[in-house]
Structure 1
């Protein structure tokens, strides 16, 4: 068959449902082949960066490879931010770019550049297809690498003359990998360390969500009674209503739950990713014992040197650890001094948990306007169901959402915290709604990040997606402005003017609201949730003075 048809057949064999992108002259063969597919839908977007963000979130929510496509030259360069974001946030993604003829690639020609070199530092693997018969192997390898831990982005370049070639080969089928786990001696050592510790803490990261390990981790925490906390991208692995879960860490200056890590003698890190939150922030003295449980071995870091590393399937590993603890807890000697220390330490952890909850809930009834971040998040949480999806853009609102938004299930609060790209939430919400059409999807954006990919409102309107976009308005780049003020006493080059968001939304065919009081927001938000085919934009003024609290040092309290 024609090479572009074979390429699409290989995508079908990998169960690709959507391809997000913008076609170009050098991808026309591929576009025609996609149009003839019975299972793949092409989603035309308005900017290639947004296509990568959509593929990123689609991949996170489905655990399948999200696919985005662009032409050569500027199409490929526009993809890079979204591809880099997916790669550092560990989302499975395949980026496909068109290319000029092989005979033109060695010399100067129109829009010609080397995308393989460009994508090398921001993907796990990149390749240029040079013959039709290589397509089945190359596609299978790209998907295999994208979904192997740690998941991430891959990239394939398809020259226009290769797309026109012929091949008699067929797609390769995917095979399930081997489940690996810890050795008996590792389990025994980890069990002994846990049972003899006086203040163990569980630190939950993004890898727990990718590996669908929430249920077994909850069981581990409940059976052992060990207190826990999560990173930004680990929200929902353990429910925030759990009596032994102390919430989210990731803003060292204002993380009250960080006090528990200061007390901890053993940190059981599960699926923890250093790109999210540096271990220097919680192990600066390098005195803590660390048990590393993840699908891959630990990264090398001065402040993260695990005493025990257990790499492999998370559910399999933790099941073995639970069994080991239940078997050995009566055999391993725990002296009376340790027992006496455990009780007051748990009391301190309980007090920290209570204080975290108090801070989250202290403005639930506040009606002042501009609205406080805590109140806005509370009002949204009060209305959404536990399985609805909130997607955060990048800015001060991301920090508030991470700290305040109570999350009960994994993959219901999506935060970019590896690469942290502004402009992520609106296109991401489109990917989320396509992945989960029966669930409500809410994008929370700052007025800075929202306008970076506002063009995708047209995409959402065209696809009849009832996403809700809540825009936090303060006409400022809040995090940068606040940090400048704290260090230099003033902020510079961060202020801007906003458009009329109601008219802007309506010009795209969406519904727009401008909130003028705190009490008005809940009514409007409930009304927005009734939309079944039209996106809704809600602009609301935020009390940006609260942002300073995000960066104030919170002294340790006994």
Structure 2
């Protein structure tokens, strides 16, 4: 049997880790690795920008339960990885980024495309390593293990074109999935949590990024059995059914945040079950009484300094399920829930004329199945969908919220649809974000990914425009000319329509469900329509 090259060894290790797709842009320095991936049966998804490739990979990997891999060349290709790596670092997405680098044998005087890549990415990754003939196999294993260890996050590997062709010196050993790190005692955690709840008059359970989707069924049973009011942060929408009577709302700076802050202030105990403040744009979590029920550190390795219950959530929920609730709490947040639902129905806080933002959500939700995966970009529409989209199932709502980086929504939808081809995927974008990477619609067409894209076109960075207005500043640098999203979509090979009423939006969504190509729905909206909601 011929000796494996490093490129072939890397491809074998990735395949053994369950990687079946790699996202990226080619470069001469990674062609040998790309060929090794092809021969190993790993699909290469050609994207239009490295940042988009990384976002697709992170979402794809998380939905598939393995590391999502992005592959780029050196220099500018590697530099474009900052956005997806930073996003994965703060938003817990299992991204393994691999780039080419300058060969170690080249003299230091050769500075063309030479960047201190390891130094640049080490602060925002869990593992950084250069692959060589002596460590290529184990480097991939260390990177994958770090990426998949809780909290999930990014790793970064480099491989020079010179080393890729050399023989791999490490022996082939059977693949072993990484073992989860042990955590604290679930028995004492359950006892402490029960005692604190028994003393509370108005408890509110806050679910966050630290809850693994696999624990959603047990979590739902506990909350329903004990009749505990619950709220979620946006990236775990769907862990609980948001149409259930005990659901209070979405916290973390989404629409009607003032109302959600009222609920937090009224609570006398906040149970932070997997709650990670990385999604919160205010500091109430440092002031209000939070009991932290975590099974790992939060994003960036942070742990609360007090009131911490560290235990495996599955085991903790098992112990809680064996107990009766320590008391009854009634429905302390009923007025807040009622006001939130009235706003969601468009009965208050809505513009007096024109299309209401909540009507866009209502129209789409009335047509799309409950299992639809929704991704959002960043802007006023993110706040809108984050609060009012009625998520029913885990892993069906995706946004960049720890980093809050624009350009996330469209590539995230492509990654999600590749991972879950059997369910509809809706990307909710603004026209500002759409203009950043609408070219990835060509990618979606080329690889056969019929996503649905709604573009709310207000010809403005409306969230910043409202911030200017609230601070008494003149409007400046926030408005732009119209972008013909329909023409742009068609130029990329997608289908597209313009819809201006709730009925037209619902009809367009029905068309999109039947389409076999990406389908864009442009919805014109005046930017002032978001006022009083976001």
TM range (shorter): over 0.9
CA shift in 2, pair 1:225/1:173, >3 Å: same
Correspondences of 1:256-335 after superposition (within 5 Å): 256-277=259-280, 280-281=283-284, 284=287, 286=288, 288=289, 290-297=290-297, 305-307=305-307, 309-323=308-322, 325-326=323-324, 329=326
Which secondary structure state, in structure 1, belongs to the residue aligned with residue 369 of structure 2? coil
Tell me, in whole angstroms, the C-alpha distance in 2 between the residues paired with 1:224 and 1:160: 59
1:195 equivalenced with 2:233 (yes/no): no
CA shift in 2, pair 1:50/1:369, >3 Å: farther
Question: Of residues 230, 235, 238 in structure 1, which corresponds to 2:237?
Answer: 235
Question: Of residues 91, 94, 109 in structure 2, which corresponds to 1:92?
Answer: 94
Corresponding residue of 2:76: 74
Which secondary structure state, in structure 1, belongs to the residue aligned with residue 319 of structure 2? helix
Q: Which piece of structure 1 moves more, 183-192 or 352-361?
A: 183-192
Q: CA deviation at 1:440?
A: 0.6
Write out per-residue CA displacement over residues 414-470 of structure 1, whole angstroms, 9 at most, x where no aligned residue.
121111111111111110110001111111100000111111111011112111111
Q: Which piece of structure 1 moves more, 18-27 or 164-173?
A: 164-173
Which secondary structure state, in structure 2, belongs to the residue aligned with residue 356 of structure 1? helix
Are the aligned partners of 1:368 and 1:518 in contact in 2 as well (CA < 8 Å)? no
Corresponding residue of 2:525: 542
Q: CA deviation at 1:392?
A: 0.5
Corresponding residue of 2:18: 15
Are the aligned partners of 1:67 and 1:93 in contact in 2 as well (CA < 8 Å)? yes
Corresponding residue of 1:161: 162
Are the aligned partners of 1:391 and 1:413 in contact in 2 as well (CA < 8 Å)? yes
Q: CA deviation at 1:107?
A: 3.1
CA shift in 2, pair 1:81/1:417, >3 Å: same
Are the aligned partners of 1:283 and 1:303 in contact in 2 as well (CA < 8 Å)? no
CA shift in 2, pair 1:360/1:283, >3 Å: farther
Corresponding residue of 1:41: 43
Question: Of residues 414, 420, 423 in structure 2, which corresponds to 1:430?
Answer: 414
Are the aligned partners of 1:297 and 1:310 in contact in 2 as well (CA < 8 Å)? no
Are the aligned partners of 1:257 and 1:353 in contact in 2 as well (CA < 8 Å)? no
CA shift in 2, pair 1:160/1:261, >3 Å: same
State the aligned residue count.
Answer: 527
Q: Which piece of structure 1 moves more, 103-112 or 64-73?
A: 103-112
CA shift in 2, pair 1:87/1:349, >3 Å: same
Q: CA deviation at 1:123?
A: 1.2
Q: CA deviation at 1:201?
A: 1.2
Corresponding residue of 1:61: 63
Correspondences of 1:282-431 after superposition (within 5 Å): 284=287, 286=288, 288=289, 290-297=290-297, 305-307=305-307, 309-323=308-322, 325-326=323-324, 329=326, 346-362=330-346, 370-431=354-415
Q: CA deviation at 1:278?
A: 5.3
Tell me, in whole angstroms, the C-alpha distance in 1 between the residues paired with 2:298 and 2:25: 38
Q: CA deviation at 1:301?
A: 12
Corresponding residue of 2:139: 138
CA shift in 2, pair 1:363/1:539, >3 Å: farther
Are the aligned partners of 2:25 and 2:46 in contact in 1 as well (CA < 8 Å)? yes
1:446 equivalenced with 2:430 (yes/no): yes
Tell me, in whole angstroms, the C-alpha distance in 2 between the residues paired with 1:304 and 1:7: 38
CA shift in 2, pair 1:362/1:500, >3 Å: closer
Write out per-residue CA displacement over residues 335-363 of structure 1, whole angstroms, 9 at most, x where no aligned residue.
xxxx8xx76xx343122222222221135
CA shift in 2, pair 1:186/1:470, >3 Å: closer
Q: CA deviation at 1:521?
A: 1.8
Q: Which piece of structure 1 moves more, 275-284 or 370-379?
A: 275-284
Corresponding residue of 2:227: 225
CA shift in 2, pair 1:363/1:513, >3 Å: farther
Which secondary structure state, in structure 2, belongs to the residue aligned with residue 201 of structure 1? strand
Correspondences of 1:462-473 after superposition (within 5 Å): 462-473=446-457
Tell me, in whole angstroms, the C-alpha distance in 2 between the residues paired with 1:225 and 1:499: 48
Tell me, in whole angstroms, the C-alpha distance in 2 between the residues paired with 1:99 and 1:352: 55
1:110 equivalenced with 2:127 (yes/no): no
Stretches of structure 2 lacking an aligned partner (at least 5 in a row): none
Are the aligned partners of 1:390 and 1:441 in contact in 2 as well (CA < 8 Å)? yes
CA shift in 2, pair 1:310/1:526, >3 Å: same
Q: CA deviation at 1:184?
A: 3.8
Q: CA deviation at 1:525?
A: 1.6
Corresponding residue of 2:210: 207
Corresponding residue of 1:499: 483
Which secondary structure state, in structure 1, belongs to the residue aligned with residue 159 of structure 2? strand
Tell me, in whole angstroms, the C-alpha distance in 2 between the residues paired with 1:544 and 1:317: 46
Corresponding residue of 2:148: 147
Tell me, in whole angstroms, the C-alpha distance in 2 between the residues paired with 1:300 and 1:424: 20
Q: Which piece of structure 1 moves more, 166-175 or 381-390?
A: 166-175
Q: CA deviation at 1:367?
A: 12
Which secondary structure state, in structure 2, belongs to the residue aligned with residue 42 of structure 1? strand
Tell me, in whole angstroms, the C-alpha distance in 2 between the residues paired with 1:535 and 1:402: 23
Q: CA deviation at 1:299?
A: 8.3
CA shift in 2, pair 1:250/1:178, >3 Å: closer
Tell me, in whole angstroms, the C-alpha distance in 2 between the residues paired with 1:369 and 1:471: 20
